[in-house]
Structure 1
């Protein structure tokens, strides 16, 4: 079981993602904007992965900014980006290294598959086994 931070400014989509991820057996933390997400990332709370919308209201870089700060605060934190808009190769250059992407709208199966891929390296980490 992992703790996944979900950052989504649309309450309906955030609730839906929370439910789906909890149904997969994971714990969640959630934030509706950059400030809430950074507050959680700076806290001592356990966070094993980040699932963030790329475009957040009232944020210039939104999910890009959150992911960039997240990997500075928590080294090797797995990141899964999502958005409902089409992204091009130029936009992908803004992804943090090793990040994954899930296009909205996504199905429960697509989210499950993406989360499994995202968390796979953690299953091999001795630090995770000790927790």
Structure 2
């Protein structure tokens, strides 16, 4: 069982992510923005992965800003970027090293594959 920090500014999509992760046996720490993510990242609790929406409306660089801060605080944290937009070179140029991507709408199998491919 992994603990996943899920950062998504759409409450419905964040709830869906929580359900998907629960269904495959993982725990979610939900956050809707950078401030909420930092609460979890600064707490003395294990976090095994960060799932972050690229387009968070409150930040200039959205989920990239969240991932950048997360990696500064927890350098070995696996990151999965999520977006409704198709993946482009401009997007991957902003990824933290080793990060992966899944496009919305995603399936439980796509989320589960993240844990199969990257040990948490």
Bin the TM-score by the shorter chain.
over 0.9
CA-CA distance at 1:11 after TM superposition: 0.7
Counterpart residue number, 2:16: 16
In 1, the alpha carbon distance for the partners of 2:103 and 2:54 equals 11
Poorly superposed stretches of 4+, deviation over 4 Å = none
The structure number with the bigger radius of gyration is 1
Q: Answer yes or no: is 1:60 the counterpart of 2:50.
A: no
In structure 1, the residue matched to 2:46 is 46
User: Which runs of structure 2 are paired with 1:81-100 in the superposition (5 Å)?
Assistant: 81-100=81-100
What are structure 2's unaligned runs of at least 5 residues? none
Mapped pair 1:77 → 2:40: no
**TM-score of the aligned structures, taking structure 1 as reference length:** 0.86
* Richer in helix (by share): 1
- CA–CA distance in structure 2, aligned partners of residues 69 and 93 of structure 1: 17
Distance 2:54 2:116 in 1: 20
- Unaligned residue ranges in structure 1 (runs of 5+): 123-131
Find the aligned partners of 1:114 and 1:23 in 2 and give their Cα distance: 15
Structure 2 CA distance, aligned partners of 1:59 and 1:45? 25
Which is worse superposed, 107-116 or 79-88?
107-116
Deviates more, 1:68-77 or 1:82-91: 82-91
TM normalised by structure 2 equals 0.93
Distance between the aligned counterparts of 1:51 and 1:61, measured in 2?
Answer: 16
Cα deviation for residue 85 of structure 1 reads: 1.4
Distance, in Å, in 2 between the alignment partners of 1:96 and 1:77 is 10
RMSD over aligned CA atoms reads: 1.2
